[in-house]
Structure 1
Amino acid sequence: MRTLTVVDAADLAAAYAAAQYCVLIDGDALPLRVGQSASDVEAYWPAERYVFITAWNPASELHSDTANETADTLLVGQLDAAGAPRQAAWAQGTDGDWREPGWLVAGLDDTTSSTLAQEFGQAGVLAWERGQPVRLRMLLHRPADAPVDPHTDWLG
């Protein structure tokens, strides 16, 4: 497992919470937003729980496409080994400049998704149960100065 060092975890959580997320299901791009329901996704692709995860740019540092694609291939292998169905997805910064591919995974439990995210150097995932708003799960300890967000959970 990688050790993740983040300069400002509160700013990173705010950026993740504000980012635009999308999942591609049957040719339709369906949006995901932290704090909002994902009823369109749930209608198209029913499951009890969902997780958005990526292997790109670990530790929030830019990596080459080759390194990112290699990490993504390893993540896909682990998801397949776990029998976790997935749909192509991506995250995009609010300015539109930053975009990275990931996966919306159905049925993956919190422990497994957190372990995978940490293994691939990620600071957070989106996770929610059917019928509930999308939540940001930060895999870092909450800084004392981090604002309280009702849709963001911290490791500790």
Structure 2
Amino acid sequence: MRELHVVDAGELAAAYAAAHYAVVLDGDAIGLQVGEPAGDLEAYWTARSYAFITAWNPASRPLSEAANNLADSRLVARLQALGLVFHPAWASDHAREWRESGWLVGDIDPAQLDTLAIEFGQAGVLYWEHGKPVRLRMTLRRPGDCPGLAFVDWIELATADR
């Protein structure tokens, strides 16, 4: 697995926005892309809204597979406790040198998603409403010199270490 070296939050947002995402439904992998509608997914699985979240590599620092799997188990327990419906998903770069497992969640409230992102140390998650393009939600402060990125929302949550 390739280590991702990030200079700043703007660079991280650009990397996340360019990543490939996919969800597995009934054995079929359905691709997702930030800025694009998810019509194939939405035709297959109807929900009011959708989100992608992972517990892997908090703060974009690579962890061992064992540590990532433990964090993933904790995330699954939280999603189950919240009564949410979710399916296996992943994110990867174009060269498929970097990949993280995660979950595509249906009908989650954006505030609930933001809380989970912070709890599991995630700088970014995907969220969109049915029929609209996939959007990236960054939980970091937007750098002052960061150019605007289409379909990226900066959700500057108040936390001590962000």
- CA deviations 1:17-52 (Å, max 9, x no partner) are 000000001111000000000001101110000000
Deviant stretches of 4+, over 3 Å: none
| SS at structure 1 position matched to 2:22 | strand
| SS at structure 1 position matched to 2:51 | strand
| Correspondence 1:22-37 to 2 at 5 A | 22-37=22-37
Counterpart of 1:81 in structure 2 is: 81
Counterpart of 1:154 in structure 2 is: 154
Q: What percent of counterpart residues are identical? A: 57
Report how many aligned residue pairs link the two structures. Answer: 151
Counterpart of 2:117 in structure 1 is: 117
How many angstroms apart in 1 are the aligned matches of 2:38 and 2:26?
16
Contact 2:52–2:103 (CA<8 Å) still a contact in 1? Answer: yes
- CA deviations 1:2-26 (Å, max 9, x no partner) are xxxx750000000000000000011
| SS at structure 2 position matched to 1:31 | strand
| SS at structure 2 position matched to 1:89 | strand
How many angstroms apart in 1 are the aligned matches of 2:114 and 2:7?
21
- CA deviations 1:92-146 (Å, max 9, x no partner) are 0122100010000001101111110111110010000000000000001111111
How many angstroms apart in 1 are the aligned matches of 2:115 and 2:29?
27
| Correspondence 1:1-156 to 2 at 5 A | 7-156=7-156
How many angstroms apart in 2 are the aligned matches of 1:148 and 1:88?
31
TM-score calculated relative to the size of structure 1: 0.94
Return 125-134 or 143-152, whichever deviates more: 143-152
How many angstroms apart in 1 are the aligned matches of 2:150 and 2:61?
27
| SS at structure 1 position matched to 2:30 | strand
RMSD between superposed Cα atoms in Å: 1.0
TM-score calculated relative to the size of structure 2: 0.91
Return 5+ residue gaps in structure 2 as ranges. 1-5, 157-162
| SS at structure 2 position matched to 1:118 | helix
Name the aligned partner's letter for residue 74 of structure 1: R
Return 5+ residue gaps in structure 1 as ranges. 1-5
| SS at structure 1 position matched to 2:146 | coil
